[in-house]
Structure 1
């Protein structure tokens, strides 16, 4: 028997969705496909809804009470959200927001060795408008609310996920209606962080990327990640950061209005 998901995490990119996927995959009442980011509603829609349902067959979901997926591109894609609405109108959506400049810079760090090779952060912002658009999370939240009832959308903040992952996860569990006191092994781990981005790029150029993989797989990987992520590389005094904060100022105000929250720290007023 084929089924459709009960919940979908729609974004944002570089906002902890890989961590959430790993935590959810451990919960005994939850099923998520081993492959994160199915991209059905934005890239593979022409394969037909039955191909999507195959990911959630009863023999795969087993004894799980709920099942879902995480594709952190859906929030930016107009057609993706509209298609989700058409096929699963009652689905529960999870949307994690992150301070827009740090989100954009994190994306740059992740793809610098490949997609953004030989480009500075400034050049990427000037030539790759999709990076900026992915950080316009208020615009995309407003569109999400135009399609789905607010009660169907759980909005979380990456800052809270980082400072108090347990409470954040409890909100997710309660939202999808599963046991909320389950503690996964991945609770305090940070997945998909960029370890030593500048050194990583140099090592890969010389065919030594395996050294970074070795660090990531070692028992010391979490310590290394925390140590090198305590101080952001792009400081608040950086002219580029100041310029980008201006770019996102109105969008941040929109988030404040939609959620009735105070994000002054994001706007740097």
Structure 2
């Protein structure tokens, strides 16, 4: 039988002792997203003022992970916040919930979040605009795009790997009216929705094809300029890993796993399907170029 009197006396000794240990090692125990939760008031949760809003399967995860190494940026490397595409009540209470989702930051750092579903969800621009009015800060948005048909194919097989789709005929999946994978690749249509609420100078648009094949510094330095933060990355910071086939960050020997990115798929789109989809994308890319002022070499079919 448990002797509760002895247990109570024991707890009176042990609990204060554990409390002393907790105070002594609080800097090591209290960690969130690899950021120490400091008792310094300069380290706290701050609302994001820069957001990577899309597009999915265009390299946004790679981009965010590299940017997380920048000392002027605080971000969740592995977590997509999905605040504006999952909440209905965009109130102060909701914003407090948003704050809980972001990492701690130091004074002078920019809090950056990534949720690539934001770009194509029609309700999100209005919600983000309301958030901007609440902050009274001009937000900055980063969009990564790539060749739209390749993006759609990648997205479809991504859904299959995660059990959301069973592909028996890839062409039929992509030719289905208003299907999710083609709709997400309509950059012009999606950007137009955002420009109804925000000015063009609030957007930086990056070439995901370039990010995949060239030294990442060529993509990261324009981001540094856009966010108005000190130049940190250099060409020497990255090296090509011949075994993996893409660039790695030298100082932390960081490389994405070999399963990241897929050059070959078990099915291809038929020639007729390619011609039809490229005609759809060509019209939208023309709109995208007119709205954004950007033109990439892969826009020419």
User: Does TM, scored on the shorter chain, surpass 0.5?
Assistant: yes
Matched with 2:18 is none
Q: 1 or 2 for the larger relative contact order (CA 8 Å, sep ≥6)?
A: 1
Instruction: Kindly state the Cα deviation for residue 243 of structure 1 after the two structures are TM-superposed.
Output: 1.7
The 2-side partners of 1:56 and 1:144 are apart by 23
CA separation in 2, counterparts of 1:35 and 1:161? Answer: 19
- Select 2:99's aligned residue among 39, 48, 53: 53
C-alpha distance after superposition, 1:86-117 (max 9, x if no partner)? 11251100011111101101111212232122
Ranges in structure 1 where 5+ consecutive residues have no aligned partner: 194-218
Q: Which residue of the other structure, out of 209, 226, 237, is the alignment partner of 1:175? A: 226
Q: Name the CA shift for 1:21/1:248 in 2 (closer, same or farther; >3 Å).
A: same
1:67 to 111, 134, 139: 111
Counterpart selection for 2:53 from 5, 10, 22:
10
2:14 maps to what in 1? none
Answer yes or no: is 1:135 the counterpart of 2:185.
yes
Structure 2 counterpart of 1:165: 216
Matching of residue 30 in structure 1 with residue 66 in structure 2: no
Deviation at 1:160, TM superposition (A): 2.3
Name the counterpart of 2:165: 116
TM-score (norm 1): 0.76
Question: How far apart are the structure 2 equivalents of 1:48 and 1:187?
Answer: 39
- Whole-Å separation in 2 of the counterparts to 1:155 and 1:220: 23
Q: Look up the match of 1:105.
A: 153
SS at match of 1:39: coil
Q: Which residue of 2 aligns with 1:83?
A: 127
Would you say 1:125 and 2:212 are equivalent positions? Answer: no
Change (3 A) 1:41 1:189: farther
C-alpha change, 1:262 and 1:171, in structure 2 (3 Å) is closer
| Offset at residue 265 of structure 1 (A) | 4.0
Residue 82 (structure 2) pairs with residue 39 (structure 1): yes
Q: Structure 1 residues 94 and 264 mapped into 2: Cα distance closer, same or farther (>3 Å)?
A: closer
CA 1:77–1:2 in structure 2 vs 1: closer, same or farther (change >3 Å)? same
Q: CA-atom RMSD, angstroms?
A: 3.3
CA contact (8 A) 1:3 1:54 kept: no
Q: CA deviation at 1:33?
A: 2.3
Contact 1:38/1:69, CA 8 A, preserved across alignment: yes
Q: What corresponds to 2:252 in structure 1?
A: none
SS of corresponding position for 1:37: coil
TM-score where L is the length of structure 2 = 0.68
The structure whose residues are more often strand, as a share, is: 2
List gaps (5 residues or longer) in structure 2: 1-43, 245-254
Taking the aligned partners of 2:57 and 2:236, their CA distance within structure 1 comes to: 21
- Check the 8 A contact 2:142/2:205 in 1, yes or no: yes
In proportion to residue count, which structure has more helix? Answer: 1
